[in-house]
Amino acid sequence: MDAYFYIILVVGLVSSLVCLAAGILKKAPNDTTILSVAAVELSLLVYLVGSIVRVAGGEQMAGEPWEFWGYLLTALLLPVGAVYWAILERTRWSNFVLAAVGVTALVMAARMNQIWY
């Protein structure tokens, strides 16, 4: 496991817990929940830049590159879609959608790590 995975692990879990708590407390999506998902997106963008630098530096992936980049692209789109959903549907249920982003990003980062190594 590399540092990128651990960053997404921490940020994703914290974001999921914040959003889950807001949903349980029957709150609508707010700045805190949306910014926590934005932090997940930022950590994924850091992963993207780091991966580009590693590939440009000559590092090789153990798995298929198309699979790695597909996972990364999909992971990058999830927070954007969830925030869009939360802005359109300002109910407590949107917080549960936002909560799923952190966990999903974590699982996808674990898979990307497997593909890389």
- Give residue 64's pLDDT: 93
**Where residue 33 sits, what CATH number does that domain have?**
1.20.120
Question: Rounded to whole angstroms, how far apart are CA atoms 62 and 65?
Answer: 8
* Location of structure tokens 């879990």: 13
Q: What is the pLDDT of residues 49-84, one digit of tens each?
A: 999 999 999 999 999 999 999 999 999 999 999 999
Q: What 3-state class would DSSP assign to 52?
A: helix
Q: How many domains would you assign to the chain? A: 1
- Give residue 2's pLDDT: 85
Number of H helices, E strands in the chain: 4, 0
* CA–CA–CA angle 109, 115, 117 (5° rounding): 100
Domain limits at 15? 3-116
